[in-house]
Amino acid sequence: MNDVTTVALVGVGGQGILLAAAILAEAAAAEGLHVKANEVHGMAQRGGSVVSTVRFGEHVWSPVSHHADVVIATELLEGHRGLGLLAPEGTLVCAVTTRIAPSGVLRREEEYPSDLAGTAVARGVRLIAVDAEAVAREAGTLRAINVALLGAASTVLPFSAASWERGLVAAVPSKILEVNQRAFALGRGSVVGKGAPVT
Amino acid sequence: MVDVMERTLFLMGNEAIGYGAVRAGAGFAAAYPGTPSTEILETAAGLEGIHAEWCVNEKVALETAVGASRAGVRTIVSMKHVGLNVAADPLLTLTETGVNAGLVIVSADDPGMNSSQNEQDSRNYAKFAKIPMLEPSDSQEAYDFVAEAFALSEEFDTPVLLRCTTKLSHGRGQVVLRHPVEVAPREYVKDVSKHMMVPQWARLRTRFMIERLQRLRVRAEESPLNVLEPGTIDFGIIASGVVYQYAREAFPNAWFLKLGMSHPLPYRKVAELYERVSRVCVVEELDPFIEEQVRLLGLPVIGKEAIPADGELDQDIVFAALQPYLTSAPPQRRSPVFPPAPRLSDLLAPTTDLPMRPPVLCPGCRHRSVFTALRRQKLAAMGDIGCYMLGADPPLLALDSSLCMGASIGIMAGFNEALGRKAAAAVIGDSTFFHSGITALISASYNEADGLVLILDNRTTAMTGHQGNPGTGLRPDRTQGPAIDLQALCDGIGVRCTTVDAKDYKALSAAIRAEVGTPGLGVLVAQAPCALLTREKSGSVVVDEERCNLCGLCLDIGCPAVAPGEDAVSILEACTGCGLCIEVCKRGALSYAGADSGGAS
């Protein structure tokens, strides 16, 4: 069990969580690792919370885990929620500038949470805050927030650049491959540029 | 009306069930004919105080029964064993929702296949559905147990299975008629947490159902329907249904545990029998249903190694099968081990106080306008399966119910029939309609049901990822087959049908109003393609902040692209420009911007 790494990708239906998970899984496979993934279908395009789990290692038994080493969140509230999935000393990679208010917040019945950084510190987990919207916009499309974050998360995941490239090529439809390759590189650079540690 | 008091009638088991239903205050009976169950509905139809209808199949019969039960009328639905397969879809979710007025399902099994293609044991459905099951053993019990079944149904908020077999159903015996049961009226109360089986509510109802089964087992232990009958020899028999009569005749001196309520099994009553005798046999037709449970208690039992696992039994077969065991060495006495109550999942416990993010109808989904218009009519709205279930959530709150694929129309028909007015509409997507709404619509047409069926035709099977269906003709390999025309289909089955453009809110509202005001059954096909398929942006909406008074009309359409601000609403980036918010605004505060200007944000 110990040699298995779990990554949870969380976000809002329609943000491309499943695509990001597919890229990650392919990259892990390119590393020669055993991979299992699991996701929730059906509501994925209806604006609900979406969680996809990718697990990789020498051998993976269970396809699910509620204790992720890394959580990748494409939206701020889902990032807050994703903290609940993080194992102690895990890392949250979150699109902190992307806020999509759920219906209860829109109706002003509930409050959108604040202070992700403080909550992360209190929980003893590491936060990599990414302005994924800016990165995606720079890459050429706001729709690439998912892959921009994956680029940022690549700094804490033990895959070679070549494996990530193979993951992108394998999972991303060819007509949007280039913009996603750009988003990935810019996302990775946004963290490296800030001097965050690179594994 | 025949005076049914103080009389003894010589009745077939099925007739006794029909009489028993009326005596128990049932006001609604639905069925599809099937030997050996047919006479139940035929008998009920000949009695006063009960409405009886043949439905197009057993699934629709059960769904129609659900509607009548919800409306507050005790309802009995009957079918043969294989019919219960057809009704299994609604049954397996009905057990989650429970009932309002009592709902009793009669399944008539046919051991020996006197008139059937297979020999299945319906008792397995009681276990599968986690519902109580009663098994009468003669015509008098058939008559009496119906009232017991209705009482259990209401007390435990569950459908109840009344299981008979051919020799009970078609056997005849004296029945002493009893005084009618006083039944308190039950109002229909909209309760989505009980009737709208989307995951968030269904998860809670599943827990209710598991706990209910525990309480039912306690009831089975106490129930006078389960009787330990003393004998004079060291031999005990567990039996239910007509098989009890065979065994009793074959072994008049044996001890008996006679099970009238055979599911859930009263473990402690079984153990009690083992305290009295050293040899116990389960006599049952078809599957080792009781035997397996007794073995689970760790108790030695004579079962299917002696009693044939196929065909019908009779007293000769039972005697010949068990006679050798009367003198065999008794097995070593063992203590029963009672199964512990099941644990419930921890995963349901809320882990955060963060705002939930339920899925919502997509921005630009024009079928939202159907809910907006429907809500203004004072109608219950029986929903179905698919995206449109999202119309139940706030702020739309436009649906009352979702049971299973295609159930909306049957539930609506039963509900309206039971209340005697157009009290409910049905809301169903195009693909779900083709799945099994179509049969319910034929049934409703045949039975001259009242109601309004809204078919939300978004030209795809959206929820699962935009697959083709008979309405589009699109096949998995992307080839095009014939597309079935809903309007022509309705014409063909004699149902008034109007097709409206769901993008035209005024026309749609008017059509709904007109249908609600017209007696009888009508269909409105609301057409608008799935917003995720078209992904069209038909303009930008801007807010006149002077005119907006935050009245909330545009917020009530539940569009994720409209949000309240401090002084006025704002239109978010997700807006597709569908324009429904503009149409519902009474102050002219919303409008399309010029062709190339951006929307306010």
Read off the pLDDT of each residue in A57-84 and give the average, rounded to a whole number. 95
Q: Tell me, what's the pLDDT at A194?
A: 61
Regarding whether B455 and B488 lie in a shared domain, the answer is: yes
Looking at the predicted structure, is the pLDDT value of residue A199 above 70? no
Read off the pLDDT of each residue in A160-168 and give the average, rounded to a whole number. 98
| CB contact B565 to A (< 8 Å) | no
Q: What is the ipTM of this complex?
A: 0.87
- Which residues of chain A are within 8 Å of residue B352 when distances are taken between CB atoms? 80-81, 84
Distance CA B214, CA B223 (A): 14
Which of B 366-395 lie inside 8 A of A, CB atoms? 387, 390, 393-395
Distance CA B104, CA B44 (A): 14
**B232-251: pLDDT as tens digits:** 999 999 999 999 999 999 99
Q: Tell me, what's the pLDDT at B600?
A: 41
Helices B58-70, B438-446: inter-axial angle, 10-degree rounding: 70
Helices A177-192, A145-153: inter-axial angle, 10-degree rounding: 40
Instruction: Tell me whether residue A191 is in a domain.
Output: no
Distance CA B586, CA B588 (A): 6
Q: Are strands B236-240 and B28-31 parallel, antiparallel or unpaired?
A: unpaired
| CB contact A12 to B (< 8 Å) | yes
Chain center to CA of B596: 52
Sign for the pseudo-dihedral over CA of B152, B153, B155, B156: positive
Q: Of B302, B326, B350, which residue constitutes the final position of a domain? A: B326
Instruction: Tell me whether residue A180 is in a domain.
Output: no
Residues in contact with B323: Cβ distance below 8 Å, sequence separation at least 6, in sequence order: none
Regarding whether B548 and B515 lie in a shared domain, the answer is: no
Whether B58 contacts B122, CB under 8 Å: no
Inter-chain touch A108–B560, beta carbons under 8 Å: no
DSSP result, B171-228: -EEEEE--PPPP---------HHHHB-SHHHHHHHHHHHHHHHHHHHHHHHH-TTEEE
Instruction: Tell me whether residue B2 is in a domain.
Output: no
**Order of strands, sheet of A68-73, starting from the edge strand that comes earlier in the sequence:** A34-39, A49-57, A5-12, A68-73, A86-95, A126-130
Residues in contact with A137: Cβ distance below 8 Å, sequence separation at least 6, in sequence order: none
Residues in contact with A98: Cβ distance below 8 Å, sequence separation at least 6, in sequence order: A74, A75, A76, A132, A133, A145
Q: Tell me, what's the pLDDT at A39?
A: 84
CA-closest candidate to residue A183, choices A148, A138, A142, A141: A148
Whether B118 contacts B282, CB under 8 Å: no
Buried b vs exposed e over A105-117: b needs ≥16 C-beta within 10 Å?
Answer: bbbeebebbeebe
**A89-141: pLDDT as tens digits:** 999 999 999 999 888 888 888 999 999 999 999 999 999 999 999 999 999 99
B526 in helix, strand or coil?
strand
CA-closest candidate to residue B432, choices B421, B441, B420: B441
Q: For chain B, what is the mean pLDDT?
A: 94
Regarding whether B261 and B197 lie in a shared domain, the answer is: no
Looking at the predicted structure, is the pLDDT value of residue B84 above 60? yes
Q: Of B326, B347, B376, which residue constitutes the final position of a domain? A: B326
Regarding whether B530 and B552 lie in a shared domain, the answer is: no
Helices B88-97, B58-70: inter-axial angle, 10-degree rounding: 20
Regarding whether B249 and B120 lie in a shared domain, the answer is: no
Q: Tell me, what's the pLDDT at B349?
A: 61
Looking at the predicted structure, is the pLDDT value of residue A196 above 60? no
Distance CA B526, CA B354 (A): 37
Regarding whether B551 and B530 lie in a shared domain, the answer is: no
| CB contact B349 to A (< 8 Å) | no
Whether B88 contacts B62, CB under 8 Å: no
Regarding whether B372 and B495 lie in a shared domain, the answer is: yes
Instruction: Tell me whether residue B516 is in a domain.
Output: yes
Looking at the predicted structure, is the pLDDT value of residue A197 above 60? no
Q: Tell me, what's the pLDDT at B535?
A: 81
Instruction: Tell me whether residue B181 is in a domain.
Output: yes
Q: What percent of chain B shows pLDDT beyond 70? A: 97
The nearest CA of chain A is from the CA of B360 a distance in Å of 6
| CB contact A122 to B (< 8 Å) | no
CA nearest to B566 within chain A = A108
Inter-chain touch B359–A107, beta carbons under 8 Å: no
Q: Are strands B172-176 and B133-134 parallel, antiparallel or unpaired?
A: unpaired
B335 burial (CB, 10 Å; 0-12 / 13-18 / 19+) is: exposed
Instruction: Tell me whether residue B348 is in a domain.
Output: no
Quote the domain boundaries for residue A85.
Answer: 5-131+149-173
Mutation target to probe the A interface, by most A beta carbons within 10 A, among B352, B354, B535 is: B354
Regarding whether B378 and B283 lie in a shared domain, the answer is: no
Interface A-B, measured as beta-carbon pairs within 8 A, has a size of 67
CA-closest candidate to residue B401, choices B384, B415, B386: B384
Domain count, chain A: 1
**B116-133: pLDDT as tens digits:** 999 999 999 999 999 999
Residue type, A147: V
**B463-517: pLDDT as tens digits:** 888 999 999 999 999 999 999 999 999 999 999 999 999 999 999 999 999 999 9
Instruction: Tell me whether residue B347 is in a domain.
Output: no
Here the CATH number for the domain that contains residue A38 is 3.40.920.10
Chain center to CA of B29: 15
Regarding whether B430 and B528 lie in a shared domain, the answer is: yes
Whether B74 contacts B28, CB under 8 Å: yes
Regarding whether B310 and B184 lie in a shared domain, the answer is: no
Q: Tell me, what's the pLDDT at A7?
A: 98
Quote the domain boundaries for residue B383.
Answer: 368-534
Distance CA B368, CA B371 (A): 5
Q: pLDDT grade, residue B333 (50/70/90)?
A: confident
Inter-chain touch A107–B564, beta carbons under 8 Å: yes
Here the CATH number for the domain that contains residue B289 is 3.40.50.920
DSSP result, B86-107: HTHHHHHHHHHH--SS-EEEEE
Q: Tell me, what's the pLDDT at A41?
A: 66
Sign for the pseudo-dihedral over CA of B220, B226, B231, B237: negative
Residues in contact with B528: Cβ distance below 8 Å, sequence separation at least 6, in sequence order: B365, B366, B367, B457, B458, B501, B502, B503
DSSP result, B223-290: -TTEEEE--SSS-EEEEETHHHHHHHHH-TTSEEEEESEEES--HHHHHHHHHH-S-EEEE-SSS-HH
Distance CA A10, CA A116 (A): 15
Residues in contact with B563: Cβ distance below 8 Å, sequence separation at least 6, in sequence order: A101, A106, B555, B569, B570, B572
Here the CATH number for the domain that contains residue B428 is 3.40.50.970
pTM of structure: 0.94
Q: Tell me, what's the pLDDT at B452?
A: 98
B9 in helix, strand or coil?
strand
Q: For chain A, what is the mean pLDDT?
A: 92
Inter-chain touch A47–B351, beta carbons under 8 Å: no
Looking at the predicted structure, is the pLDDT value of residue A193 above 80? no
Here the CATH number for the domain that contains residue B560 is 3.30.70.20
Which of A 169-188 lie inside 8 A of B, CB atoms? none
Instruction: Tell me whether residue A113 is in a domain.
Output: yes
Q: Tell me, what's the pLDDT at A1?
A: 43
Q: Tell me, what's the pLDDT at B358?
A: 85
Q: Tell me, what's the pLDDT at B240?
A: 98
CA-closest candidate to residue B569, choices B556, B554, B584: B554
Regarding whether B526 and B560 lie in a shared domain, the answer is: no
Nearest-by-Cβ selection for A46 from B360, B395, B564: B360
Domain count, chain B: 4
| CB contact A42 to B (< 8 Å) | yes
Q: Tell me, what's the pLDDT at B3?
A: 46
A165 in helix, strand or coil?
helix
A161 burial (CB, 10 Å; 0-12 / 13-18 / 19+) is: exposed
Read off the pLDDT of each residue in B365-388 and give the average, rounded to a whole number. 93
Mutation target to probe the B interface, by most B beta carbons within 10 A, among A77, A81, A106 is: A106
Angle at A119 between CA A116 and CA A121, to 5 degrees: 110
Read off the pLDDT of each residue in B361-380 and give the average, rounded to a whole number. 92
Nearest-by-Cβ selection for B356 from A12, A102, A106: A102
Q: Tell me, what's the pLDDT at A47?
A: 82
CA-closest candidate to residue B562, choices B549, B375, B546, B576: B576
Looking at the predicted structure, is the pLDDT value of residue B598 above 60? no
Instruction: Tell me whether residue B479 is in a domain.
Output: yes
| CB contact A64 to B (< 8 Å) | no
Q: pLDDT grade, residue B5 (50/70/90)?
A: low
Q: pLDDT grade, residue B533 (50/70/90)?
A: confident
Q: pLDDT grade, residue A51 (50/70/90)?
A: very high
- Which residues of chain B are within 8 Å of residue A101 when distances are taken between CB atoms? 563
Helix (H) / strand (E) element for B429: namely strand B424-429
Distance CA B62, CA B583 (A): 40
Looking at the predicted structure, is the pLDDT value of residue B569 above 90? yes
Which of A 133-172 lie inside 8 A of B, CB atoms? none
**B299-326: pLDDT as tens digits:** 999 999 999 999 999 999 999 999 999 9
Q: Of B534, B549, B575, which residue constitutes the final position of a domain? A: B534
Read off the pLDDT of each residue in B197-220 and give the average, rounded to a whole number. 96
DSSP result, B474-485: B-TTS-B-PPP-
Whether B251 contacts B280, CB under 8 Å: no
Instruction: Tell me whether residue A195 is in a domain.
Output: no
B117 burial (CB, 10 Å; 0-12 / 13-18 / 19+) is: exposed
Instruction: Tell me whether residue B475 is in a domain.
Output: yes
**A26-39: pLDDT as tens digits:** 999 999 999 999 98
Instruction: Tell me whether residue B258 is in a domain.
Output: yes
Q: Residue A93 — φ and ψ, nearest 5°?
A: -105, 115
Angle at A18 between CA A13 and CA A24, to 5 degrees: 145
Q: Tell me, what's the pLDDT at B346?
A: 83
Q: How many CB atoms lie within 10 A of CB B431?
A: 25
Residue A167: both structure tokens together = 């993951």
Distance CA B41, CA B28 (A): 10
